[in-house]
Amino acid sequence: MVEFEFVNVGRPGDEKKHATKVRRHVMKDIGKSRRKPKTRSETTIARDVLVAAPEPSSGGPSAHGQAAVSPLDECRLGDVVFPIKMNEERRSLARFLFTQARISYRPFAFTWLSMGLSDAGAWYITLANAVLFLNMKPGDAKPEFNTNPESMKWYTMSLQSVSKRLADPKEEGKQGLITAIAGFSAIGNFARQEIHMQGLKRLVDDIGGVEQITNPILRFMISWHDLSGASYRNSHPYFGIPRDSIIDTNTRGDTTYFKLLLDSWNNSCPYLGDIQSALKATAAVANYVNQHCQNPKFWVDDIRGARLLTPALHEVLSLEGRALPNDPLDPGYSGIAAREAFRRSSLIFLAALKAKFGGMAFELGRHLDDFREISKIPYVNWVVVPELNLWAHTIAALEQESDQRSWHVSAIVSIMKSAAFTSSKQALDIVRGIIWVEVLFADKVEVLCHEIDSTFSATLS
Whether the per-residue pLDDT at 125 is higher than 70: the answer is: yes
For residues 161 and 260, membership in a common domain is answered with no
Any domain includes 225 = no
More confident residue, 326 or 75: 326
Q: Is the pLDDT of residue 34 over 60?
A: no
Q: Which domain holds residue 414?
A: 256-460
Q: Is residue 9 part of a domain?
A: no
Same domain, 434 and 292: yes
Burial class (CB in 10 A: 0-12, 13-18, 19+), 155: buried
Listed residue (343, 334, 336) closest to 281, CA to CA: 343
Which of 28-32, 231-235, 310-314 bottoms out in mean pLDDT, i.e. has the lowest?
28-32
Q: Domain ends where: 165, 193, 225?
A: 165
Residue 194's pLDDT is what? 92
Mean pLDDT estimate for the chain: 81
Residues 142, 262 within the same domain: no
- Round to the nearest angstrom and report the end-to-end CA distance of the chain: 79
pLDDT of residue 22: 44
Q: Which of 136, 165, 194 is the last residue of a domain?
A: 165
Model pLDDT for residues 332-374, shown as the tens digit of each residue:
898 899 999 999 999 999 999 999 999 889 999 999 999 999 9
Statement to judge: residues 301 and 402 lie in one domain: yes
- Domain boundary pick from 165, 184, 206: 165
- Domains identified in the chain, total number: 2
Tell me, what's the pLDDT at 370? 94
Give the number of other CB atoms < 10 A from CB of residue 278: 21
Please name the residues in contact with 434: beta carbons below 8 A apart, sequence gap of 6 or more: 257, 258, 261, 283, 387, 388, 391
**Over 90: is that where the pLDDT of 409 sits?**
yes
Give a yes or no: residue 7 inside a domain. no
* Band (250; pLDDT cuts 50, 70, 90): low
Give pLDDT, residue 9. 45
Residue 238 has pLDDT above 90, yes or no: yes
Residues 161 and 285 in one domain: no
What's the rounded Cα separation, in Å, for the pair 356 and 368?
A: 17
Helix, strand, coil share of the chain (percent; to 5): 65, 0, 35
84: nearest Cα among 106, 65, 61, 66: 61
User: Per-residue confidence at 301, pLDDT binned at 50, 70, 90?
Assistant: very high
Question: Is residue 369 domain-shared with residue 267, that is, in the same domain?
Answer: yes
Taking only the tens place, the pLDDT of each residue in 410-432 is 999 999 999 999 999 999 999 99
Length of the chain: 461
Q: Is the pLDDT of residue 3 over 50?
A: no
pLDDT at 45: 23
Same domain assignment for residues 275 and 393:
yes
pLDDT for residue 4: 38
CB atoms within 10 A of CB 313: 31
- Higher local confidence (pLDDT), 189 or 93: 93
pLDDT in tens, 132-173: 888 887 767 778 888 889 999 999 999 999 999 988 888 877
249, pLDDT greater than 80: no
Name, in order, each residue with C-beta under 8 angstroms of 52's C-beta and a sequence gap of 6 or more.
43, 84, 120, 124, 157, 160, 161
pLDDT of residue 51: 27
Kindly give the interhelix angle for 190-206 and 216-233, rounded to the nearest 10 degrees. 140
Same domain, yes or no, for 149 and 271?
Answer: no
**18 and 138 inside one domain:** yes
Indicate whether 292 belongs to any domain: yes
Which residues, other chains included, contact 338 with Cβ-Cβ below 8 Å and sequence gap of 6+? 269, 272, 380, 382, 384, 385, 388, 389, 392
* Residue 393 pLDDT class (50, 70, 90 cuts): very high
Judged by average pLDDT, the poorest of 60-64, 70-74, 126-130, 209-213 is: 60-64
- Does residue 3 lie within any of the structural domains? no
Report if residue 120 sits inside a domain.
Answer: yes
Tell me whether residue 100 is in a domain. yes
207 belongs to a structural domain? no
Q: Is the pLDDT of residue 436 over 90?
A: yes
Question: Do 260 and 153 have their domain in common?
Answer: no
